[in-house]
Amino acid sequence: MPTKLVILDRDGVINLDSAQFIKSPAEWKPIPGSLEAIARLNQAGYRVVVATNQSGVGRGLFDMDTLNAIHDKMHKALFTLGGRIDAVFYCPHAADSDCNCRKPKPGMYKRIAETLNVNLAGVAAIGDSLRDLQAGAAVGCLPVLVLTGKGTKTKAEGNLPDGTLQFADLAAAVDHLLRPKKK
Range of the domain at 100: 5-114+140-147+159-166
DSSP code at position 11:
B
Tell me the sheet residues that pair with 167.
146
pLDDT tens-digit series, residues 84-123:
999 999 999 988 888 999 999 999 999 999 999 999 999 9
CA atoms within 13 A on the CB side of 46: 21
- The pLDDT tens digits for 134-148 are 999 999 999 999 999
Catalytic residue among 9, 17, 128, 169: 9
Q: How many domains does the chain have?
A: 1
Q: Specify whether 11 is catalytic.
A: yes
Q: What is the pTM of this model?
A: 0.96
Query: Is 96 among the domain residues?
Result: yes
Q: What distance in Å separates the CA atoms of residue 9 and residue 63, rounded to the nearest whole number?
A: 20
- 108 SS3 class: helix
CATH number at residue 30: 3.40.50.1000
Inside any domain, residue 17 = yes
Domain-embedded: residue 87: yes
Residues 98, 88: Cα–Cα separation, whole Å: 21
The residues, any chain, with a CB within 8 Å of residue 139's CB and separated by 6 or more, are 106, 109, 110, 113, 120
Q: Is residue 37 part of a domain?
A: yes
Residue 180 lies in a domain: no
**Residue 69: inside a domain, yes or no?**
yes
